[in-house]
Amino acid sequence: MLSLVDLERGTLRLYPIITFDVIYVVLLAALIARRVIPSYPSALVGVLVLVLVNSLLVWHALRQSFNPPREHRIPKLLWFAAAVFTPAAIAALLAWVNKPDLQSTIQVIVAALLVGYIWFLVFCLNRNKTENLP
């Protein structure tokens, strides 16, 4: 199995997680587009399952083999994701305030979960960085 932790640099590898997420979302979208599964509960449940699986993968990787060196940094890809998805979540929230319907409500919930998860990762990685300093 591919390790999610780069022990040499003391960073979390996000590429396997992002690859898994993209494949999962594409498959879920294809099933919804072909009307194999209904969109309303499937999309919401699918995103919740995705967040849960990602959280468990990151938690397991951090518990198993993550001892970051002093020069540990939060990956640039994670900062990029935070910089992109936070304003997008704010825009989804503003669109929901202007026109509160079911579609925009689901978009706001998904955006809030995604942004919350990204900032949770930033917080956890930053906490691990400060705990290992002398």
- Which phi and psi angles does 5 have, rounded to 5°? -115, 130
Alpha-carbon dihedral of residues 129, 117, 76, 95, nearest 10 degrees? -140
Tokens describing residue 73:
């940094």
Q: Is pLDDT above 50 for 134?
A: no
Using an 8 Å Cβ cutoff, are 114 and 48 in contact?
no
- Among 2-6, 72-76, 96-100, 130-134, whose mean pLDDT is lowest? 130-134
CA angle 5, 10, 73 (to 5 degrees): 120
User: Each residue of 80-122: pLDDT tens digit?
Assistant: 889 999 999 999 999 899 988 998 898 899 999 999 999 998 8
- CB burial of residue 64 (10 Å; 0-12, 13-18, 19+): exposed
**Which residue reads 């936070």 in tokens?**
86
DSSP H or E segment with residue 59: helix 39-65
Please state, in angstroms and rounded to a whole number, the distance separating the CA atoms of residues 47 and 66: 27
Mean per-residue pLDDT of the chain: 82
pLDDT tier for residue 124 given thresholds of 50, 70 and 90: confident
